[in-house]
Amino acid sequence: MTPAALTGGFADAPLQSAQAFRSILQAMARPGTIHDLTGALPPPPLSVAAGVALLTLADPSTPVHLAGATDTPAVRGWLAFHLGAPLVGAEEADFALGTWADLQPVSRFRIGQPDYPDRSATLIVAVDHLEPEGVRLCGPGIRGAAQLSLPGIPALQANAAMFPLGFDCLFTCGTRIAALPRSTRLEVL
């Protein structure tokens, strides 16, 4: 482990993790809304939002999968020091991190079981653009409709069609985060 792995975590973990958890909860409860996450400086290529989300949601009992460019020695060392979360293959992950392209095929991630739909993966997807425009979102937590710039629309539509099974997504860009729970329906405009 390098000395750089020891830096970049929360300076005031109880306060900052509580604030981040509230923002992530708000994003999940209101799909299509964009929230800011700050308080940590993870190593590249992780965005601030992705690093803060992992610091807030993962721990030594939550397996994490690093896909593509996120699977670096610096990221592995940072996660080992700050979380102690085990790094696993895609099929075993509670959380998977990467770009949409790196996470393909998304069919390899857990979608839960009929009697335990909560035993599914959450994908933390790094995107270059996160704006309230693009595909139309409908469903629980959305008054009327919302819009969000999303990759992989057909796969996300297929995921929503499996509800209550399916994976959930957190989309991150810089310090911004938006959520797409499996209960959200997508309509291309």
How far apart CA 118 and CA 110 sit, in angstroms, is: 10
Query: In this model, does residue 6 exceed pLDDT 80?
Result: no
Sign of CA dihedral 129, 157, 180, 119: negative
Q: How deeply is 23 buried, as exposed, middle or buried, from its count of CB atoms within 10 A (0-12, 13-18, 19+)?
A: buried
AA identity, residue 143: R
How far apart CA 130 and CA 69 sit, in angstroms, is: 20
Per-residue pLDDT reduced to its tens digit, 60-73: 999 999 999 999 99
Query: In this model, does residue 5 exceed pLDDT 90?
Result: no
Q: Mean pLDDT over residues 1-30, rounded?
A: 87
Q: Mean pLDDT over residues 157-167, rounded?
A: 97
How far apart CA 56 and CA 59 sit, in angstroms, is: 8
Cross-strand bridge partners of residue 96: 65, 123
Where exactly are the structural domains of the chain? 20-143+155-166
How far apart CA 79 and CA 64 sit, in angstroms, is: 9
Per-residue pLDDT reduced to its tens digit, 106-115: 999 999 999 9
Query: In this model, does residue 155 exceed pLDDT 80?
Result: yes
What is the third-level CATH fold of 20-143+155-166?
Answer: Rossmann fold (3.40.50)
* Average pLDDT score over the chain: 95
How far apart CA 77 and CA 146 sit, in angstroms, is: 38
Q: Where are the alpha helices (DSSP H) in the chain?
A: 13-29, 48-57, 73-82, 153-161
Query: In this model, does residue 2 exceed pLDDT 80?
Result: no
pLDDT reported for residue 56: 97
Instruction: Please give the structure tokens belonging to residue 87.
Output: 């790094």
Q: Mean pLDDT over residues 27-47, rounded?
A: 96
| 61-84 b/e (C-beta count within 10 Å ≥ 16 → b) | ebbbbbbeebeeebbbbbbebbbe
Per-residue pLDDT reduced to its tens digit, 92-103: 999 999 999 999
Confidence of residue 86 (pLDDT cuts 50, 70, 90): very high
Query: In this model, does residue 147 exceed pLDDT 70?
Result: yes
| pTM for this model (two decimals) | 0.95
Query: In this model, does residue 11 exceed pLDDT 90?
Result: no
Estimate the share of the chain in helix, then strand, then coil, as percent rounded to the nearest 5: 30, 25, 45
pLDDT reported for residue 3: 66
* Percent of the chain surpassing pLDDT 90: 90
